[in-house]
Amino acid sequence: MSSDIVRSIIRFVVLILLQILVFRQINPSGSFFFYVSFIIYPLFILLLPFRTSPILLMLLAFVIGIIIDISYGSYGVHASAAVFIAFLRPTVLRVLEPRSGYNITQAPTKTHYGITWFISYSAVLMFAYLLWYFSVEAFTFVYFGQILLKTILSFLFSMLIIIVYMFIFDPKE
Amino acid sequence: MRNLILLLLRYGGFVVFLLLEAFCMFLVVRYNRTQQEIYVNSTNILSGALYERAANIRQFWNLREKADSIANVNAQLREEIELMKRAAALKAEKDSTYILPDSSRQYRYISARIIDNATNGNNNTLTLAKGSKDGIRPRQGVIDDRGLIGIVRDVSENYATVVSLLHRQIRINAANQRNNSIGVIAWRGNDPTIVKMEDVPKHINLIQGDTIVTSGYSPNRFPSGVMIGTIDTFWLQPGSNYYDIEVKLSNDLNTARYVYVIENSLIEEQEELEKEVADE
């Protein structure tokens, strides 16, 4: 088994545990925190190697999404958002491709392409994730203002944690 | 086949995306109460309009059935009215409590739909969609809400033919409601809205517009008082002892759709008795 697969499996487990055991438990009372969710596990989808085929990407996203759903008791909501960004990932990567191109044996990390590139890459997909997630959670666009507010606030907090995560673990592959 | 594979290679990712999302949405709607309620409500709004249309169409197809059942109810109501009339008459005579026996239900009404009709010939007949199975017998009277229709001629299991009032051989005992003078109604052809009233002697006082109803006399196919029409014109031929009367029918046989066949439960008894008198 090549090292990137092993790394991905470890990251898979670590991110699920972090999401369920740590970030799901952060639930401070107060009206402000009604709008904030800390979502970091999509990092697993973001950090899969370039050569992962689009279909495998979506299948893996579905699997991790369903596992998160089971712990959140929201069957299908996280999974659909995860599949959505897995579907978007190849397009986003193509748009953000640097002049020198990608090394397809690597993964899209900050080590290889810089912190600015990584933030813009993860910001696009995380925003897409959260917007989709809160839309499906509400299941109606009647309260679109609320959906947008939740998306923006959760986006800011989640991105903060994702960047901290990238600096702490600094994944190479 | 090769094109199909190429298509799948090209859009396979999108197809898998759609399939996975569809499955996710199924899970969302199936296992999340809030989303389920929203889903059910929205689909109800969408399908509501559709269901309403379908119901309208169904109602249209059911109209005939409904009309049938309404006709049946009407027939029952007619019987009730007949019964009440008799009860009221008896009470007036005796001025005491009177419990009406079942046998006093002399007339029964059987509703039937006309499935064939003609008014343009000299000898018109109708066909009804009910027959011996439903209690229809030859020589029973047929009426509708507006007046007289005719007399049953032949009966099969499910159908009955009716000699129309517009038939040259028909004779119906009639009476002038104002003075109870009696006569016989017959049709001479031509105008389907006019019948002749015969055998009214010249000493009877007639007024144009007098109401002509069935007399209820022998052969007793109709109860007394069923509307036939009003006197349109009348005159006396020189040397004749009887009026020539033209009666304008209250009924329009051309537009009749539902009729009531009258079953007289006492007709056999009456006919037998009258035959004895005739035999003497």
What DSSP state is assigned to residue B178?
A: T
CB B159 within 8 A of CB B127: yes
Q: How far is A50 from chain B (nearest CA, A)?
A: 15
Measure the CA–CA gap between B209 and B207, rounded to whole angstroms.
6
Burial grade of A72 (CB within 10 A; 0-12, 13-18, 19 or more) = middle
Q: Sort out which chain B residues have CB atoms less than 8 A from A76's CB and list them.
A: 23-28, 30-32
Question: Alpha-carbon torsion B210, B211, B217, B218, what sign?
Answer: positive
**What is the DSSP code string of A113-151?**
H-HHHHHHHHHHHHHHHHHHHHHHHH-SSTTHHHHHHHH
Q: How far is CA B1 from CA B4, B8, B11, B13, B67, in A?
A: 5, 11, 15, 19, 58
Which residues of A have a CB under 8 Å from any CB of B?
54-55, 58-59, 62, 65, 69, 74-77, 79-80, 83-84, 87, 90, 136-137, 139-140
Q: How far is CA B158 from CA B69, B123, B275, in A?
A: 17, 23, 31
Cβ of B25 and A76 within 8 Å? yes
How is domain B106-279 classified at the CATH fold level? Thrombin, subunit H (2.40.10)
A139-168 residue pLDDT tens = 888 888 889 999 999 999 999 999 999 988
Domains in chain B: boundaries: 2-62, 106-279
**What is the DSSP code string of B113-169?**
EEEE---SSSEEEEEES--GGGT--TT-EEEETTEEEEEEEEE-SS-EEEEEEEETT
Tokens of A25: 């438990």
Q: Sort out which chain A residues have CB atoms less than 8 A from B26's CB and list them.
A: 76
Residue pLDDT tens, chain B, 280 long: 677 777 777 778 888 899 999 999 999 888 888 888 888 777 777 777 777 777 777 777 778 777 887 888 888 888 888 888 877 776 666 555 555 555 556 788 888 888 888 888 888 888 888 888 888 988 899 988 888 999 998 888 888 999 998 988 888 999 998 888 999 999 988 788 899 998 899 898 899 999 999 888 765 688 888 889 999 999 988 888 899 899 999 888 888 888 889 888 888 888 788 788 877 6
End-to-end, the C-alpha distance of chain B in Å comes to 100
Reference B161, options B173, B149, B171; nearest CA is B149
Report yes or no: B73 at the A interface, CB cutoff 8 Å. Answer: no
